[in-house]
Amino acid sequence: MRAVTGPRVQLLCVDASPRLLVFGSSIGSVYVFERRARGGAALPAAADAPNATDVASPVASFLSSDGTLPEDGNLKFLERFMVETFAGGSATRPVTRARLDERRARVALAFDDGEVVVTSFRDPLSNDALESSSGRYVAGIPNGHKGARVTSMAWSGSGDALISGDDAGAVSVVRLDGPDAGARTVRFD
């Protein structure tokens, strides 16, 4: 972990699936790690693996016995990527929330200004040479949470929608597929 952090780069958020971990950083980049078995072998992919919030204490399963992140062994660094935003450039703002959708090799990210972005990344188990580059913008909510802190994000059971909420009382839904694709925001006063 020391190889990706330092005085300029701090890891601010994490989300985990049974197979992958994603970390958001203070400089807007995302780090993807593969969880490894104690002997170093890759964990098998589960097509219908639950999200980290559905697994009892997902973080505890990859921490060292003293409660710190391991330097080697239980995690394998896969890639670092910059995130494309709604405006088209690379994000350089802190990533404050992450929600992984391993089944579709994408991650929802919230930035410190309230923008929410869904971005794709290369699936480490895919052999598809034509797969797009990581960090590509898929969908987002550029203004739904503007000026607020996103406090929660969750994927729908089918993975076709992302629900997010903030500390100002706004709830947004991004439908990624089908005729209802698009973003909607509701504010509660």
Q: Are 100 and 15 in contact (CB under 8 A)?
A: yes
At 77, the pLDDT band (50, 70, 90 cuts) reads confident
pLDDT digits (tens, 9 = 90+) for 27-64: 988 998 888 766 666 666 554 344 433 333 334 444 45
Determine the pLDDT at residue 12.
92
Beta bridge partner(s), residue 173: 163, 184
Lowest mean pLDDT among 108-117, 127-136, 140-149, 176-185: 127-136
Query: Is the pLDDT reported for residue 19 higher than 50?
Result: yes
pTM: 0.76
Sign of the torsion formed by the C-alpha atoms of 126, 29, 71 and 151: negative
Determine the pLDDT at residue 24.
93
Determine the pLDDT at residue 22.
92
Tokens coding 22: 């994603």
Comparison of pLDDT for 41 and 128, the residue scoring more: 41
Q: Are 13 and 95 in contact (CB under 8 A)?
A: yes
Q: Select from 167, 123, 120 the least CA-distant residue to 145.
A: 167
Average model confidence (pLDDT) across the chain: 77
Query: Is the pLDDT reported for residue 97 higher than 70?
Result: yes
At 134, the pLDDT band (50, 70, 90 cuts) reads confident
Determine the pLDDT at residue 45.
57
Instruction: Calculate Rg over the CA atoms of the chain.
Output: 16
How far is it, in rounded angstroms, from Cα 52 to Cα 100? 8
Determine the pLDDT at residue 57.
36
